[in-house]
Each structure stands twice: as structure tokens, then as C-alpha cells.
Amino acid sequence: MAQKILVIDDNLNNLMLEGDLLEVAGFTVLSAENAAGGIAIAIRELPDVIIMDVRLPDMRGSVAAKILRSNPLTQAIPIVFVTASVMPGGREEIRGIANSGFIGKPIDTRSFAKEIAAFIQ
């Protein structure tokens, strides 16, 4: 059974690129264009890892991550923030979120799926 990855990003080009790279690597990909939709999918599907942009239209990715961490069903799912916010303040925003990581945009298409796979327990 393929491992499930949830990608949450409001940029459709990023959503499609990341999804395609992960599908080619053999993962089942779920997607959402906003934090609320992503949270609902995460609770329903319990993916093996969540990839999330920091800047989403309905709430910050860090806020969505804290909601996921407060739910017993999703609290242990690794969250990988994939964002162009590479400034120190942007990294500080996500630093305190347990079981999370960071990949800067633009992503390296040759290593992206392998980087994500490293977060799956």
C-alpha cells in the first residue's frame, strides 16, 4: 500500500508540481488549496506526512499546524513546511512546531521526493 502524503498549497502550480513528483516516486497524493480543507483531509485520511505552505489564504500554515498538533488523530503526523519564506522571521514562526521540518522554495525537483520520504516514520 502506497504511503499517503497531503500537500496543502494555494498556488496550483506548486500543488501540481509537488504532487507529480511525489506520485512518480510512488506515493498516493492528497491535496488541498487552503488550510481548512487540508485540516479536514488530514483528520479524515490520516496521511503519513503533510506538506504545507506557510502562507495560505485562510490562515497561516503555522496556525493550521498547531490545530493539527492539538488533535489526537493528527498530532504525530510529520509536517514539512515548503515555503519561499526563508527569512529568519519566517523560519522562527515554524521552529517551535513539534515533528516538523522545512524545505525552501524553489524546491529541488531531483531530490524533493527523497527529502519528503525522510520525514516518514
Cis-peptide, bond into residue 57, ω within 30° of zero: no
Q: Please, what are the averages of pLDDT over each run of 10 residues along the chain (121 residues)? A: 92 96 98 98 98 93 94 96 68 71 90 94 68
Q: Could you tell me the domains of the chain?
A: 4-117 (3.40.50.2300)
Q: What's the grid cell of residue 8? A: 496543502
Q: What pLDDT shows up at residue 89?
A: 55
**Model pTM score:** 0.92
In angstroms, rounded to a whole number, what is the distance separating the alpha carbons of residues 45 and 63? 20
